[in-house]
């Protein structure tokens, strides 16, 4: 138990430093190549911070732990949306670009709807399972998402400000690669050892997936977004969250289903509904208070909602 706790602490350190290096390198890459921070946040940073989910889900799918697979992705997305955006919004109100309001947020909602339809037997199978054919649908959606980001880059007209401290290309990519490595290793250490501790307490896989594993694999998103907003990189902060939620559903679940078809427990529909509702709330929040900004009171509502959601999950286990 003591060894597991120490390894969890080591994982936290790797996550924090990895996130710091990731944001620094990615922001420098954006400025060096006249690429917007939102595009970098939606792709490189989003993939990097989703890497722990990919590692955990690959192992969980291979070993047939379907509740961990779905719990990790759905729980991580809810944690990203409610906790991370809530915390970041309390630290500093987040100004959101028009493209994010009208395209990326609706796209993340569309991803939830597609997942719901695929898992609830409306399309390709008679049982509640995410099949390899469903995974093919998800990976095609992911390809279309990447094409959208590519088109956004082609039509980008706003050149980012010049970096205060210029970095060489080697240093930029070194920061990104080392940051990614720290995120993956740190996330794995935290999750593996937290699950080991929780399992010893007799907690179900579904709850472990939705809470402990989801929170553990979302730590990179949390640290990265907080670091980004403290550095005044709001685009990386919001792009990281929205991009990670899209990555988790379209890419990570598709890969998980390719490894092994995943049985879907319909109890997860409640959690999917909460995720859809939170995404709708985020969209509406762009038109209340200060337009195209997540105000502090809206961020507080996200946090309070997640605490109530967590209390509901725990009450069902008692």
Beta strand residue intervals within 145-195, DSSP E = none
Are 245 and 104 in contact by the 8 Å Cβ rule? The answer is no
Please give the helix or strand (H or E) that residue 22 lies within, else none.
Answer: helix 2-32
Distance CA 210, CA 36 (A): 33
> How far out from the chain centre does Cα 183 lie?
13
Task: Note the pLDDT of residue 42.
Answer: 67
Poorest-confidence range of 29-33, 58-62, 173-177, 268-272? 29-33
Task: Note the pLDDT of residue 230.
Answer: 81
| Listed residue (35, 41, 12) closest to 241, CA to CA | 41
Tell me the C-alpha to C-alpha distance, in Å, between residue 244 and each of 5, 26, 30, 137, 290: 27, 15, 18, 18, 25
Give 87's contacts (C-beta < 8 A, 6+ positions apart): 222, 226, 299, 303
Q: Is the pLDDT of residue 31 over 50?
A: yes
Are 9 and 2 in contact by the 8 Å Cβ rule? The answer is no
Q: Is the pLDDT of residue 181 over 90?
A: no
Task: Note the pLDDT of residue 134.
Answer: 92
Task: Note the pLDDT of residue 127.
Answer: 57
Task: Note the pLDDT of residue 161.
Answer: 46
Are 17 and 182 in contact by the 8 Å Cβ rule? The answer is yes
How big is the chain by its Cα radius of gyration, in Å?
19
Task: Note the pLDDT of residue 108.
Answer: 93
Greater confidence, 306 or 149?
A: 306
* Helix/strand/coil for 203: coil
Domain that holds residue 78: 2-317
Are 213 and 78 in contact by the 8 Å Cβ rule? The answer is no
Q: Is the pLDDT of residue 202 over 80?
A: no
| Listed residue (139, 133, 142) closest to 108, CA to CA | 142
Most confident of 42-46, 126-130, 292-296: 292-296
- CATH number, domain of 177, equals 1.20.1420.30
pTM: 0.79
Share of the chain above pLDDT 70, in %: 87
pLDDT in tens, 38-63: 667 667 777 776 777 777 788 888 88
**Strand 129-130 and strand 293-294: pairing?**
unpaired
Distance CA 106, CA 103 (A): 5
pLDDT in tens, 242-293: 888 998 999 999 999 999 999 888 888 989 999 999 999 999 988 886 677 8
Q: Is the pLDDT of residue 22 over 60?
A: yes
Q: Is the pLDDT of residue 143 over 80?
A: yes
Tokens at residue 237, please? 């902060």
* Helix/strand/coil for 95: strand
* Domains contained in the chain, number: 1
Share of the chain above pLDDT 90, in %: 21
């Amino acid at each position: 138990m003591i060894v597991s706790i120490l390894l969890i602490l080591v994982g936290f350190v790797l996550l924090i430093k990895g996130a710091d290096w990731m944001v620094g390198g990615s922001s420098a890459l954006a400025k060096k190549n006249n690429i917007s921070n939102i595009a970098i946040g939606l792709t490189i940073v989003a993939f990097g911070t989703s890497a722990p989910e990919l590692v955990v889900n690959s192992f969980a799918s291979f070993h047939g732990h379907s509740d961990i697979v779905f719990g990790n992705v759905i729980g991580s997305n809810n944690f990203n949306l409610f906790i991370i955006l809530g915390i970041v919004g309390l630290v500093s109100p987040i100004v959101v670009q028009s493209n994010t309001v009208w395209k990326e947020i609706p796209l993340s909602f569309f991803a939830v709807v597609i997942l719901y339809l695929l898992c609830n037997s409306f399309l390709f199978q008679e049982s509640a399972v995410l099949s390899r054919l469903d995974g093919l649908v998800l990976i095609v959606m992911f390809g279309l998402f990447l094409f959208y980001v590519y088109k956004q880059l082609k039509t980008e007209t706003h050149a980012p400000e010049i970096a205060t401290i210029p970095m060489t290309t080697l240093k930029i990519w070194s920061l990104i690669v080392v940051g990614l490595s720290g995120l993956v290793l740190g996330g794995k250490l935290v999750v593996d050892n937290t699950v080991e501790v929780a399992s010893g307490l007799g907690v179900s896989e579904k709850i472990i997936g939705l809470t402990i594993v989801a929170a553990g694999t979302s730590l990179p998103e949390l640290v990265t977004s907080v670091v980004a907003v403290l550095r005044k990189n709001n685009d990386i902060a919001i792009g990281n969250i929205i991009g990670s939620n899209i990555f988790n559903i379209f890419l990570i679940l598709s890969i998980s289903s390719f490894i092994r078809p995943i049985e879907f427990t319909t109890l997860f529909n409640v959690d999917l509904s909460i995720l859809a509702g939170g995404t709708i709330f985020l969209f509406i929040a762009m038109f209340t208070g200060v337009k195209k900004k997540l105000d502090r009171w809206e961020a507080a509502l996200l946090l309070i909602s997640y605490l109530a959601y967590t209390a509901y999950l725990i009450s069902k286990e008692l």
